[in-house]
Amino acid sequence: MSTRTATAEADPIIESRDDLLAIFQKGEKPRDRWRIGTEHEKFVYRTADHRAPSYEEPGGIRDLLNELTAYGWEPVIEGDKVIALSGSDGAISLEPAGQFELSGAPLDNLHETCAETGRHLRQVKEVGEKLGLGFLGLGFWPDKTREELPIMPKGRYAIMLRHMPRVGSLGLDMMLRTCTIQTNLDYASEADMVKKFRVSLALQPLATALFANSPFTESKPNGFLSYRSHIWTDTDPQRTGMLPFVFEDGFGYERYADYMLDVPMYFAYREGRYIDAAGLSFRDFMRGELSVLPGEKPTRGDWNDHLSTAFPEVRLKSFLEMRGADGGPWNRICALPAFWVGLLYDDQALDAAWDEVKHWTVEDHHRIREQVPTLALATRGPRGRSFRELAARVLDIAHAGLAARQRLNGAGDDETGYLAPLREIVASGKTPAEVLLDRYNGAWGGDIGRIYDEMAF
């Protein structure tokens, strides 16, 4: 989740509806300026006993952040605590229970993206060896209860932790026990945004299926292949889901702004602190009628903050965020942006991907979204076609899109090789979660502790 920092620059007041739309319009870029942003989270644990470390304890999350400054990262302070880092490779931030996230810099190609991922993982592993910490790439804590997990000292999280149980039964699990990989991509115009939004939203469940990697809860199989994905179905219905209006005629910046105005607020940020506005209306805020800030109107920063508090499967800010994948190992961190860049950054690939999904109905989208957390690649699309078959076709489209980009590394390789882990999943017919379940029921003998030996970074 985003980390807000104080700034000395003036933050313009939002005076009109046009000011709301300007953030989306500002994201428009010509093709030669399209970039790739990759975010990935991982669980942090004590190598001695697999316990999740707290922020304050010796060798805990605070020390992990401080030790990383030796690599050139600059601390970001909230109150008197380091809660994030910034640097040339983007930003390092903390999820609510200490899940460690790299929000990578906007980069030109996947070779740069994978190199960035490699630098970050090498750094955290080196520091982890010094502090006795390990890092796990999964979609959900395989063995931890909520009560066993620490809370990070970020003001927005305290507000969200209070509010989540009011609106859903699994919101605390989303905050405390999940990890994801995300990709952020650009668009050229409103029309380009609309087409990319529709294709990526329709195919987001396919990404969920390919990256399904969360089959355990509290040391036992939970009946899902992507329990992380299931959690979003009972987190907060007002700010999650498949957004059927995206597929309606006339969808564009204005319709998304209307959606966001209907999403209740979480907070406002003033003078270095978060003010609890959970459940209040941004529309009231624009009228100067927000009860916790009477007479004040929102700034551009407030609107940006508010945009970050909706959690649909695809999210629009000044770029599009792909949000459907579970956390995973190094090669799948590189595979997720490869999947989406191949589909969305080449016109022929984008058209071909749209041809795969343009006949799907709203009912199809909802049914598929409901079934994928349990069935993954065994989900049936419209006309009875399996998701495994769809995945093979879509990966062919992504491969062609990446090949057409002709972004070569020093060895002369293009970007298509980053799809290899996904090709292997489709060829085997087994998602990462099913591989883990096979090990749990076989070689591990039901001992979930083995996951730390075999799945750590």
Residue 269 is assigned to a structural domain of this protein: no
User: With 60 as the cut, is the pLDDT of residue 169 above it?
Assistant: yes
Average pLDDT over residues 68-94: 97
User: With 90 as the cut, is the pLDDT of residue 229 above it?
Assistant: yes
Check: CB of residue 346 under 8 Å from CB of residue 405: yes
Classify strands 240-241 and 311-312 as parallel, antiparallel or unpaired.
parallel
In tens, the pLDDT along 21-50 reads: 999 999 999 999 999 999 999 999 999 999
Residue 282 is assigned to a structural domain of this protein: no
Dihedral sign from CA coordinates of 267, 6, 259, 373: negative
The model's confidence at residue 2, banded by pLDDT at 50, 70 and 90, is low
**Overall residue count recorded for the chain in this entry:** 457
Task: Give me the helices (H) in 91-131, please.
Answer: 110-131
**Residue among 352, 139, 104 nearest 228 (CA):** 139
Residue 25 is assigned to a structural domain of this protein: no
In tens, the pLDDT along 111-163 reads: 999 999 999 999 999 999 999 999 999 999 999 999 999 999 999 999 999 99
Token pair of 286, please? 């624009």
CA dihedral 406, 410, 412, 416 (to 10 degrees): -60
For residue 333, what are the domain limits?
A: 33-263+310-455
pLDDT of residue 385: 87
Residue 28 is assigned to a structural domain of this protein: no
Give the amino acid at 263.
Answer: V
pLDDT of residue 8: 47
Quote the CA–CA distance of 247 and 400 in Å, as a whole number.
26
Residue 283 is assigned to a structural domain of this protein: no
User: With 80 as the cut, is the pLDDT of residue 186 above it?
Assistant: yes
Q: What is the pTM of this model?
A: 0.97
Per DSSP (E only), the strands in 295-422 are 311-312, 314-316, 320-326
Check: CB of residue 298 under 8 Å from CB of residue 282: yes
Quote the CA–CA distance of 130 and 137 in Å, as a whole number.
20
Residue 286 is assigned to a structural domain of this protein: no
Average pLDDT over residues 405-422: 98
User: With 60 as the cut, is the pLDDT of residue 6 above it?
Assistant: no
Residue 127 is assigned to a structural domain of this protein: yes
Domain count, the chain: 1
pLDDT of residue 441: 98
pLDDT of residue 388: 98
Check: CB of residue 94 under 8 Å from CB of residue 152: yes
User: In 3-state terms, the chain is what percent helix, strand and coil (to 5)?
Assistant: 50, 20, 35
Average pLDDT over residues 309-330: 98
Q: Report the chain's mean pLDDT, rounded to a whole number.
A: 97
3-state secondary structure 150-213: CCCCCHHHHHHHHHHHHHCCCHHHHHHHECEEEEEECECCHHHHHHHHHHHHHHHHHHHHHCCC
Average pLDDT over residues 262-267: 98
The model's confidence at residue 413, banded by pLDDT at 50, 70 and 90, is very high
Any idea what the CATH number is for the domain that residue 337 is in? 3.30.590.20
The model's confidence at residue 384, banded by pLDDT at 50, 70 and 90, is confident
Percent with pLDDT over 70 in the chain: 98
Residue 182 is assigned to a structural domain of this protein: yes
User: With 70 as the cut, is the pLDDT of residue 311 above it?
Assistant: yes
User: With 90 as the cut, is the pLDDT of residue 55 above it?
Assistant: yes
